[in-house]
Structure 1
Amino acid sequence: MRFLYLLFIGLFVFGTSTAIRAQTPALPTIDHIYDPNVQTALLFPLVSANPSDPALTLNPPIISLDEPTVLQLEFDDLTADYRSFRARLIHCNADWQRSVLNDIEFTYEYNDMPITDYQVSINTKVQYYHYRFQVPRVKLPGNYLLVVYDERNRTNIILTRRFSTYQNRIGVSAAGRFSVDPARQFSDQQIDLAISYKGYQVISPQDDFKVVIRQNYRDDREIRGLKPTNVQAFDQTLQYNVADLSNTMPGGNEYRFFDTRTILSRANYIDRIERPADRNIAYVQVDQPRSQGPYIQSDDFNGLFVIDHRETGNGDVNADYIETVFTLRAPQLSGDVYVNGAFNFWQRNDRNRMTFDPATGTYRAAILLKQGVYNYDYALLANQTPPTVNETLIEGDFSGTENDYEVFVYHRPPAARADQLVAYQRLGVNKRK
């Protein structure tokens, strides 16, 4: 009887997993909010005893399976009505394409979880429900997509967020420097790295490892397809000191920022605040292009942001949503200009597209953002085929810019059916002391 019971449970879980997989066969495996009433979807590791610490969101959603740290998802529903949400996980390979694994191969529990932790906003003009959800532990290191959907309608996807788990089974050493190309030494940064796989089973090390380098936690700033330049079979070491500049990336500029943690007075880079009855409006100081001229050192969050409320210290439910107005004084460009940042997952769409006003010679955009401190820059989507994103034209590129880099090393072990993240390393370039 026990055997039949276990067989029934296994078939039930497998059947449910197959049904869920069939419902979302073409779901893009990207960070995205599909419901316009949902805002500020944060996913971060709980590395502090205080889950409401604003600085927690400055950590990327990447955790080690060898440590007890968990990931927490938070988001706001601006309908101001309670809605029932559920979450599930999708396993992905190194290229973020959905793997062939069944749920039971990477989860410890049933892969369909209710989101029951919520609070109502307090003393805000824009009312919302604030939801929290701790992502359950997984079995395998690798890439995952967290999917939140409406409990009443499984096909109504609310949002998706990427995260990764790793186990350091091999060694990675990485270092950043200026580009070796004389033409790029003042604009680009180069990441040299080496992999030591001593004691790790691999059949063809020069081909089997998939290396990804990411700048400032941005999925649109990645280097993929690197091949080792030197294979030391005796020492079981791979070196990636390439001469074709494939490990080189534009340095960019320090990110612009503004502070809306309070509306009682003007904080950093806020020109003025208006307070109509239904909402608050904050005008960010007028920006200018920075591509011409010298590099100016300043501190930033490397494109990220934090949610906070200065008066209460509880940004989760006391921070209001503010109509934030951006203004860029620049000549009209051939293409669309966007306010670019992690607040929009570095995506360019109608929400952050700017409109040019010939009368004032400025671009302007109004974006509803929760109170906090935000990093951002400006990007041009040029009118050409295919369309290309250009941040250099407005912001400039400088090799002296302080940036964070991550190195991901993926491998599919013998007889495994999916890629695993077997090494993860973070490093800073031009870090301030």
Structure 2
Amino acid sequence: MRLKRFVLPILTFITLTQCVPVSPTSSSPGMELLYEDINYVPEVQTVQLYPFQGKDSDILQSPIVTLAQSGSLILRFDLLQENTEVLHAKIVHCNFDWTKSWLGDVEYLSAYNEFPINQFTYSVSTKVPYIHYELRVPKVKVTGNYLIYVYRNNDEGDLLLSRRFVVYKNDVGIEEEIGLSTNVHLRGSHQQIQFKISHPKTLVMNPTEDIRVVLRQNQRWDNAITKLKPNFFKEDMRVLEYNHFDGSNNFPGNNEFRFFDLRMLLSRGQRIDKVIPGSIPTVNIDADMPRGSRPYAQNLDINGNYFIQNLDRGGGNIESEYIKTNFTLKADQAYQGDIYLMGQLTQWRKEAYNKMQYNAERKQYELQLLLKQGWYNYQYESTLKEESQLLEGYYFPAENNYEILVYYRLQGARYDQVIGYKSINYNRPN
């Protein structure tokens, strides 16, 4: 299937909408700021941060941009409520490990670090009222990890959300090789990333300390690989090689993501078992089965992401309904670990609100989320890795997107620069 068949054109303005209490999120108002992708209150929903370049597919891209493009990022979200509020955003420069750096605001921003969010639109004829907000993230002056957070009522303790983004320069070259794991027992299930970094213009005195790398799979921070060290140096050529054979550079190949089509209520989309009208519409997704023992089958997915669209009447951002969405996962008995529904729709977090509950009478796990109309990818994960493999399957041919981020800090410097970035789509034929 072709992506542009499903994604609506991006609006040039976006609004913040608050969520209804049907779908609780991670935290409560007044909590300490966390340097993570998180919604702090249940009325915040459908948060998206991405680089706007005028294409339908922009919404699916990582919030990782060059320094020259740093003013292109768009933050948008909904607040499920009827009245607008005074909202502001702030930006924090962070170290490699997502702790606050030593830089002051004026060293990475040209404007005062408090940005009002004035662009908003009320939902139109929806059963759950909401307000849709948009902010174009201000341009920054230096590379690095950044956190943007939103708060209301001029009170930074009244947090709504926080999201990570990265700004980089291409000062190094990255050459990668993705393939089968060199560990025999992982060859059928994992994918291995070997790579080398060429730095002709960057002085690296101590490669094991000055350079740090991050490997990500499918835009996830929660399972990123962050502790790799170069194991071979070519000083005359200024090349660092990362060729590890101990599994430290391996990711589970995973499976193609499960999906459902929530873009229609007047008729049933793909994998929708039942649509139940009401003051808040309810939808039952087709029951899922564990698939770790099944043969791998390739199908197109969007690697755990989602996009918003309403095929009943258009106007996806402000006319899409919020829907009580019921998930079921068949299981003859409860697993030992806790089971979570995972993907961008749950910020890749394991929290109380997306934890599946086992129904012993029906022999299935159950969960209800409040979701906006759109197309969604998801998967199930256990707190025990071996159970996650049983639930979804790990297959080396599976298609995944990988990202390599290169950080640099010369001894005595006050912050970590991002001097290289590469995104790679891996799709090994069966």
Same fold (TM over 0.5): yes
Q: 1:245-298, CA deviations, whole angstroms, 9 ceiling, x for partnerless residues?
A: 21111111111000011101011110110111x111111000000011211111
**Deviation of the 1:304 alpha carbon:** 0.6
Counterpart of 1:348?
350
Match of 1:393 among 390, 395, 415: 390
**Deviation of the 1:128 alpha carbon:** 0.2
Q: Does 2:151 match 1:149?
A: yes
Counterpart of 1:324?
325
What is the aligned-residue identity percentage?
38
Q: 1:394-413, CA deviations, whole angstroms, 9 ceiling, x for partnerless residues?
A: 11101011000000000014
Within 5 Å, which residues of 2 pair with 1:363-378? 363-378=365-380
**Deviation of the 1:390 alpha carbon:** 5.0
Counterpart of 2:26?
none
Match of 2:359 among 357, 360, 382: 357
Within 5 Å, which residues of 2 pair with 1:39-118? 39-48=45-54, 53=56, 55-67=57-69, 70-118=72-120
Residue 429 of structure 1 aligns with an amino acid whose one-letter code is Y
**Deviation of the 1:199 alpha carbon:** 2.0
**Deviation of the 1:191 alpha carbon:** 0.4
Query: What secondary structure sits across from 1:86 in the alignment?
Result: strand
Q: Does 2:386 match 1:425?
A: no
For the 8 Å contact 1:206–1:238, the answer to whether it is kept is: no
Q: Structure 2: how far apart are the matches of 1:206 and 1:351?
A: 40
For the 8 Å contact 1:46–1:69, the answer to whether it is kept is: no
Counterpart of 2:6?
none
Question: Structure 1 unaligned runs (5+)?
Answer: 1-23, 383-387
Q: Structure 2: how far apart are the matches of 1:71 and 1:389?
A: 38
Query: What secondary structure sits across from 2:106 in the alignment?
Result: helix
Q: What is the TM-score with the length of structure 1 in the denominator?
A: 0.89
Q: Does 2:409 match 1:412?
A: yes
For the 8 Å contact 1:76–1:129, the answer to whether it is kept is: yes
For the 8 Å contact 2:143–2:168, the answer to whether it is kept is: yes
Larger Rg: 1
Question: Structure 2 unaligned runs (5+)?
Answer: 1-29
Q: Structure 2: how far apart are the matches of 1:118 and 1:61?
A: 21
Q: What is the TM-score with the length of structure 2 in the denominator?
A: 0.90
Within 5 Å, which residues of 2 pair with 1:79-228? 79-228=81-230
Residue 416 of structure 1 aligns with an amino acid whose one-letter code is A
Q: Structure 1: how far apart are the matches of 2:371 and 2:260?
A: 12
**Deviation of the 1:68 alpha carbon:** 6.7
What is the number of residues matched between the two proteins? 400
Query: What secondary structure sits across from 2:58 in the alignment?
Result: helix
Counterpart of 2:34?
28
Counterpart of 1:282?
283
For the 8 Å contact 2:183–2:246, the answer to whether it is kept is: no
Task: Identify if the C-alpha distance between structure 1 residues 152 and 139 changes in structure 2 by more than 3 Å, giving closer, same or farther.
Answer: closer
Q: Structure 1: how far apart are the matches of 2:245 and 2:70?
A: 40
Task: Identify if the C-alpha distance between structure 1 residues 105 and 89 changes in structure 2 by more than 3 Å, giving closer, same or farther.
Answer: same
RMSD: 1.8
Task: Identify if the C-alpha distance between structure 1 residues 95 and 128 changes in structure 2 by more than 3 Å, giving closer, same or farther.
Answer: same
Query: What secondary structure sits across from 2:383 in the alignment?
Result: strand
For the 8 Å contact 2:208–2:229, the answer to whether it is kept is: yes
Q: Structure 2: how far apart are the matches of 1:199 and 1:56?
A: 32
For the 8 Å contact 1:410–1:422, the answer to whether it is kept is: yes
